[in-house]
Amino acid sequence: MELIDTHAHINVEHYSADRAAVIERALAADVRRIINIGYDLPSSQASVALAQQEPLVWAAAGIQPHYASSTTAADLATLRELLQQPKVVALGEIGLDYYHDRAPHDQQEALFRQQIELARELSLPVIIHSRDAHTDTVRILRDAAQDYPGVMHSFSGDWEYAQACLDVGFYLSFSGPLTFKKAVELHEVAKRAPLERILIETDSPYLTPHPYRGKRNEPAHVRLVAEALAALRGVDLATIAAATTANAERLFTRLKGNSP
């Protein structure tokens, strides 16, 4: 059995004391690949560096909407270079964040669209972060990324929003909150979404699943997300592992062929 954690941030300082042990535990939990995600230029650079040094790790690079006001043309040129490095499989995470709301919405949209364009030029799939911005996210994706390969990372929302994302052609990626008893809306989405459009992730160090809630998350726990998905859909863990791994390889085409 093979699991892929399609979204983690293990380059961050939370893991500086025990990163090797974290990767060992992931392996022991059948996690064979981890996609480490950048959210600004320094984290994207760290992500690519980590991927080049760890056989289990692949990288994504991108600039989150928080930095929409300060991102320059030179930054985008640096990002373009990074995206062409070995083991980079996607552009992300990018999108809109009206919850933290650290940049004006028109600037968030502009940076989002610029990076979708960059992804198209480099033929890379996109990883979308959307918080409290569902309507605008769907509007922009319909306009700029209809049928373009991409994933709604750590999906949260109701079935109607899920359908809109599926209609754009995107995958839905589930994370720790799927294991929470009270996440009824999310459970419904996880039951109804087509199996061939589902991914799993941890978003480590955030969104720790039950029963480790409140502690630091880590890629090994993607297995708990897969187990929750299996229970909700009434299938076994091996079925979920096989499907989500195949889905990740279909979306992130550069993941294929170099499995350690």
Number of residues forming the site for Zn ion (CB under 5 A): 1
Between 12 and 230, name the residue whose CB sits nearer to Zn ion. Answer: 12
Torsion 236-238-243-248 (CA) sign: positive
Binding mask 36-75 for Zn ion (x = CB under 5 A): ----------------------------------------
Between 38 and 106, name the residue whose CB sits nearer to Zn ion.
38
**Whole-number Cα distances in Å, 170 to 12, 45, 86, 141, 185:** 28, 26, 25, 9, 19
Give least dist CB 206 to Zn ion, A: 7
Cβ at position 106, least distance to Zn ion in Å: 24
> What minimum distance in Å lies between the beta carbon of 259 and Zn ion?
23
Binding mask 106-145 for Zn ion (x = CB under 5 A): ----------------------------------------
Nearer to Zn ion, 40 or 203 (CB): 203
Indicate the residue among 54 and 203 with the shorter CB distance to Zn ion. Answer: 203
In this structure, is the dihedral angle defined by the CA atoms of residues 174, 177, 179 and 181, taken in order, positive or negative? negative
CB of 238 to Zn ion, least distance (A): 27
What is the separation of C-alpha 86 from the centre of its chain, rounded to a whole number of angstroms?
A: 19
- Nearest distance in Å: CB 187, Zn ion: 22
Which one, 173 or 195, has the nearer CB to Zn ion? 173
Of residues 188-217, which lie at the interface with Zn ion (CB under 5 A)? Answer: 203
Contact in structure between 170 and 152 (CB atoms under 8 Å): yes
Cα separation, 26 vs 33, whole angstroms: 9
Nearer to Zn ion, 8 or 144 (CB): 8
Element (H, E) at 2: none
Minimum CB distance to Zn ion, residue 162 (Å): 19
Least separation in angstroms between residue 9's CB and Zn ion is 6
Helix (H) or strand (E) holding 219: none
Peptide bond into 211 cis (omega under 30): yes
* Helical residues (DSSP H) of the chain, grouped into ranges: 19-28, 41-53, 73-83, 105-122, 134-144, 159-168, 184-192, 222-233, 237-251
Q: Select the residue whose beta carbon is closest to Zn ion and give its number.
A: 203
For CA atoms 136, 76, 94, 65, give the dihedral sign: negative
Q: Which residues bind Zn ion (CB under 5 A)?
A: 203
